Amino acid sequence: MKGTKVTFETGKLNYSSELMRALAHPLRLKILEFIDDNKSINVNKIYSNLDLEQSITSQHLKILRMSGVVSVEVTGKYHVYHINYDVINKASFAVNRFVGKA
């Protein structure tokens, strides 16, 4: 029996794995939920309300930003974060499709 050739587009595979990595961490999900509850929020309010260290919060936000899950708007000295719902919806659809729920 001849095996099926498996091929992936490297760019899409790399992006997908970074996106899933970003979404698979409990603390990042907690940060996303907090941003979602507030629609947009500055980093100071995120770490103070979630009782996190500023450096830890910034590291997690960087991963979310680099994966496209959140965007940041710099307003003066504040960094205001917003969720990119298109990315979240596509990731949710892909995961549900993969596990047979779409």
Q: Which tens digits make up the pLDDT trace of 9-24? A: 898 888 888 999 999 9
Instruction: Please give the domain boundaries of the chain with CATH numbers for all domains.
Output: 26-98 (1.10.10.10)
Whole-structure pTM value: 0.86
- Predicted confidence at residue 1, as pLDDT, reads 53
CA distances from 58 to 8, 42, 44, 86 (A): 32, 11, 10, 22
Residue-wise pLDDT for 48-71, tens only, equals 999 999 999 999 999 999 999 999
- Predicted confidence at residue 4, as pLDDT, reads 77
Rounded Cα distance, 42 and 65, in Å: 14
Residues found in the chain: 102
- Predicted confidence at residue 6, as pLDDT, reads 78
For residue 58, what are its two tokens? 């910034």
Provide the β-strand partners of residue 80: 42, 73
Q: What percent of the chain has pLDDT over 90?
A: 73
